[in-house]
Amino acid sequence: MSRVILEVDHLTKAFGGLLAVNDVSFQMYEGEILGLIGPNGAGKTTLFNLVNGVYKPTRGHVRFLGQEITGLPPYEVVKRGLARTHQIVRPLNEMTVLENVVVGACFGAENLGLEPAARVAEEVLAFVGLAEFRDTLAGKLNLAQKKRLEVARALAARPKLLLLDEVLAGLNPAEVERMLGVIRRIREQGISILMIEHIMQAIMSLSDRVVVLNFGQKLAEGRPQEVASDPRVIEAYLGDPEMAKKILEEEA
């Protein structure tokens, strides 16, 4: 087995009395695509926010490549090689697509100057298929393009680990296919990916392993097929497991 790239260790985040993430632990290995799934409100995005430093955990630790990054601010985390995208896209609207990606390159892991950053940005834009929109204001892109811009900005930071938060949500089937291609090619570059996704077909075909969250706790972990047939997971998603089984059998 290859090196551990990310270690989430008994991580807990409380908002008042609500435990949004409750004692979650898992490890991720270099080169792996790890899927993070769970019903709405399970704490997936909160977990991302804890890993990249948007929130400080109430308890627990996050280690990246063996180093403690718990509680570091996001701008430090990204410089160590851990970049992320946002579920609700956050383009820098009044800046061009190219400028958006240059920001990612300038302030990312390599801490580039403006000119080398522009070269990296052009390269990344071509990679995600946004090259023709380089001079468009980011606010004018459609949703699929904004999602690709999110990925481009994160990639421009030259990460070793990429957190993708529902980059497929809201896309039509053709756009989903295109984004899946981008994700596969990112993995081919040797970048590890931790992704939150609701489109099960996509997560099952892409992920090496899957972690399931429910009500802030880790419910299951394993290979996609194992997790998909786990009665607890089916129950979390569909309610009554017996009923769910019946439906699945009828479908088949």
Contact code string over 114-133 relative to other proteins, x by CB under 8 A? x--x----------------
Instruction: Pull the structure tokens for residue 1.
Output: 């087995």
Which of 30, 99, 122, 123 is close enough to bind other proteins by CB under 8 A?
Answer: 99
Using left for φ > 0, alpha for ψ between -120 and 50, and beta otherwise, residue 131 falls in: alpha
Contact code string over 150-179 relative to other proteins, x by CB under 8 A? ---x---x----------------------
Is 19 a binder of other proteins (CB under 8 A)? no
Which of 29, 107, 215, 237 is close enough to bind other proteins by CB under 8 A?
Answer: 107
Is 113 a binder of other proteins (CB under 8 A)? yes
Phi, psi of 73 (to 5 degrees): -70, 155
Torsion of CA 181, 32, 116, 120, to 10 degrees: 0
CA distance 216 to 19: 7
Contact code string over 47-66 relative to other proteins, x by CB under 8 A? -----x-x------------
Is 181 a binder of other proteins (CB under 8 A)? no
Is 74 a binder of other proteins (CB under 8 A)? yes
Shortest Cβ 130–other proteins spacing (Å): 16
Shortest Cβ 189–other proteins spacing (Å): 20
Q: Angle formed by the axes of helices 231-238 and 241-251, to 10°? A: 90
What are the distances in angstroms from CA 101 to CA 87, 181, 184?
17, 20, 20
Which of 38, 43, 60, 108 is close enough to bind other proteins by CB under 8 A?
Answer: 108
Burial of 88 (0-12, 13-18, 19+ CB in 10 A): exposed
Written as one string, the DSSP assignment of 131-184 is GGGTTSBGGGS-HHHHHHHHHHHHHHT--SEEEEESTTTT--HHHHHHHHHHHH
Is 203 a binder of other proteins (CB under 8 A)? no
Residues that bind other proteins (CB under 8 A): 52, 54, 73-75, 78-79, 84, 86, 90-95, 99, 102-104, 106-108, 113-114, 117, 153, 157
